[in-house]
Structure 1
């Protein structure tokens, strides 16, 4: 009897658990700051393989977003359709962010992760990076130099330029039609590159997680921080595996379990890479090939979501705000809770594309309710694993919103969505 080969998702899952186990073993028995295991294995082989994988994905982000967005935009004969899709996407992203932080504040108020107050007197040092104003973000959305925006990976500017370029192609007539064929060919080539990278994905996931867990000590996850850590983690899992599927079911009547199952390998990618932008190529492949959303939709909503959808970060902000307030013995009023919800929701757009976005957004929220910003230093030590989980939650939200909009615009192939094997197999490199 011929043996059934393990699929891509199975190999990625094996790589994830093997990497975590190997990293924990290194952390417990082999790694010290100056020994040869760290030099050769952790900072040598694992770093090279992991960084190569991330860099390869990042290499594809800008060309994939630009080309696919141009193709999707110029394919829309009605420019008003683009505005309708953009309006739906923005509305859904803001709604899910508001839901996320509301749940976080409610649960944290009940659990009281910082009620012990034992850390209030600790010396902490954290200097928050300045956050740009919302007006500055709006002004800076339009690139002065599109080539420079692409070189710097400024996603909002790339999205705006690609939309304008694609719209001009749709309006110019025959020259636009000739260019459309060229961009469609380039888009196919880039997607082929994504599929080639899928062959090395299990090894990249293994290396990234092994190195992370080799460096990760668990000594800090004690006392008050343990309660904070578990509270954030549980809310993230609830939002990713209960709230999103529920919204999907209510708005589309699609089977949510199919969505969850097909997103699993994508979530592992996001967890290991800890970057929504680096996951864009894989998320776009999942939404188009596995969930059946037309590229005209996913090419717009996925990059936009990776830029402005911060549900995971909003959850961290809500719990962290309550946690810090309780540590310092400060009671938050209902008006302050509402201010946290409003600030965090709007900040998900206002700080888009800024490095260290989670801590910048948290600093903005703490300033709005009069809490000490330097207290962020208390939670940095346990934030790495939470950051990885937040990314997995964020890209799940991107895919959910993309699927909802695809369904509402009649741009979703339900046969592909309901087919458990659709897009599961990765094409051979030489095919």
Structure 2
């Protein structure tokens, strides 16, 4: 998801929608003036080109790196052994810095997410419970079918990259060897014992993600809304946001040096095949979820044609694809839901909440990338690893933050949790993330669109029967939470 727009503090979401749409929508004169539109488009592209860490910069950096790497590999017969190692240093430093932000990011995100959900379900709101249950259900479903397809279909089409280009740190290799020697019963014991840490500080120091996540959920449940510790966690969260935004701005540099150094030794045909499978697996999983699972759930609850309903909201998911931001698409999403007669009191809760926790596209993408990194680096995943990836993908998708390419950061820690080292293949993932991110966002928004109608049907809420009771409080609470999440980072 891309960075979100700032909402006016204290104003209801509906007012912010009107204000934002009036600021961003072109005037009729502009719509009729081809030259003005063309100038605006050119200015927008130029601005994106100048923006540090933009998708255009990352793509250009990747293309330049591919060009230089291929030119060197085809024209130089004997590449000095030190050349790719030295060239990889800037990319390695960038990747290490990115990994350093992961643990504080996931801890603060989980604690704050739990706090937000507690506030939204205060008073036992029927609307809140149904909505959150739907979002969790579709997320789990997305992760499970993505993992099944990866194991049965897509993993068989991937090939291991050239070993000379995949230098693995000694400590990472020890972890890989240790996991490979585990027996099935050891795997079961490891999965269950990893939920509860013997020492919380040791779990933090050793990046035991599952134990850290469970601890964060418990802390989030027990913290009081006015706690000084919660205020400190919010400050840490803001600091982590600033650091990650800075590192994302450096992404073109990191991607360039990671790719150019590895292309000097990587087999180009191998990269092309693996890259095609990665893109194909990601998009296939998303379209299966969009065209089969979500419509089936929609029909079961509403007995209406899901595809007709989805097409009626085309402006929302088309904008989501173009902007790669479900938060930036929120005004259009809510306007479409209103136009199609979804009760205002329903979509004012479900749509903003979906921007925070409903990330079906991201949930599908996590298993694809992690399995891709494992197979292309010659690592065999066992049943325990698959189970751990499923659990972490569900939790991480809910905790995904509104930062451009924040899923890249979470991918690193999921891979770490199953002992997958970060090598040059990670640069391939970064280079194409901007493209797949658009489809992830379109799927996320589409799921929100289906959810709004389902919630209206199962709760029976209309604009006339929602007063200041439990569900009314839930709608007001989501207004408050969205304002906090839209605040400048």
Counterpart in the other structure of 1:231 = 281
CA positional deviation for 1:298 = 1.0
Partner SS state of residue 223, structure 1:
helix
Q: 1:339 and 1:44, CA in 2 relative to 1: closer, same or farther beyond 3 A?
A: same
Over residues 150-200 of structure 1, what are the superposed CA-to-partner deviations in whole Å (9 max), with x where a residue is unaligned?
A: xxx99xxxxxxxxxxxxxxxxxxxxxxxxxxxxxxxxxxxxxxxxxxxxxx
Counterpart in the other structure of 2:127 = 85
Counterpart in the other structure of 1:289 = 339
Q: 1:42 and 1:399, CA in 2 relative to 1: closer, same or farther beyond 3 A?
A: closer
Cα distance in structure 2, aligned partners of 1:296 and 1:234: 34
Counterpart in the other structure of 2:385 = 336
Cα distance in structure 2, aligned partners of 1:104 and 1:119: 27
Moved more, 133-142 or 307-316: 133-142
Moved more, 372-381 or 401-410: 372-381
CA positional deviation for 1:264 = 2.1
Over residues 100-159 of structure 1, what are the superposed CA-to-partner deviations in whole Å (9 max), with x where a residue is unaligned?
A: 11111111122226631125543699xxxx9995347668995899xxxxxxx99xxxxx
Cα distance in structure 2, aligned partners of 1:89 and 1:97: 12
- TM-score w.r.t. the length of structure 1 is 0.56
* Contact 1:270–1:276 under 8 Å retained in 2: yes
CA positional deviation for 1:284 = 1.1
Counterpart in the other structure of 1:116 = 159
Cα distance in structure 1, aligned partners of 2:462 and 2:451: 12
Cα distance in structure 2, aligned partners of 1:44 and 1:326: 42
1:293-372 equivalent positions in 2, closer than 5 A = 293-353=342-402, 356-372=405-421
Matched, 1:106 2:131: no
Cα distance in structure 2, aligned partners of 1:277 and 1:120: 41
1:22-421 equivalent positions in 2, closer than 5 A = 44-47=43-46, 80=123, 83-109=125-151, 110-112=153-155, 115-118=158-161, 121-122=164-165, 134-135=216-217, 142=225, 222-290=272-340, 292-353=341-402, 356-374=405-423, 375-411=425-461
Cα distance in structure 2, aligned partners of 1:121 and 1:49: 36
Structure 2 residues not aligned, in runs of 5+: 1-24, 26-37, 51-120, 169-206, 229-236, 239-267, 464-489
Cα distance in structure 2, aligned partners of 1:286 and 1:42: 25
* Contact 1:339–1:369 under 8 Å retained in 2: yes
* Contact 2:359–2:444 under 8 Å retained in 1: yes
CA positional deviation for 1:299 = 0.9
Q: 1:233 and 1:299, CA in 2 relative to 1: closer, same or farther beyond 3 A?
A: same
Counterpart in the other structure of 1:148 = none
Structure 1 residues not aligned, in runs of 5+: 1-11, 13-36, 52-77, 146-152, 155-218, 414-431
Partner SS state of residue 231, structure 1:
helix
Q: 1:113 and 1:308, CA in 2 relative to 1: closer, same or farther beyond 3 A?
A: farther
- TM-score w.r.t. the length of structure 2 is 0.50
Please report the RMSD computed on the Cα atoms of aligned residues, expressed in angstroms: 4.1
* Contact 2:327–2:355 under 8 Å retained in 1: yes
Larger Rg: 2
* Contact 1:245–1:259 under 8 Å retained in 2: no
Moved more, 306-315 or 331-340: 331-340
CA positional deviation for 1:342 = 1.1
Cα distance in structure 2, aligned partners of 1:355 and 1:404: 30
Cα distance in structure 1, aligned partners of 2:451 and 2:427: 34
Partner SS state of residue 286, structure 1:
helix
CA positional deviation for 1:242 = 2.0
CA positional deviation for 1:275 = 0.6
CA positional deviation for 1:390 = 0.3
User: How many matched pairs?
Assistant: 281
Cα distance in structure 1, aligned partners of 2:335 and 2:385: 41
Cα distance in structure 1, aligned partners of 2:337 and 2:391: 30
Cα distance in structure 1, aligned partners of 2:358 and 2:402: 11
Cα distance in structure 1, aligned partners of 2:48 and 2:400: 31
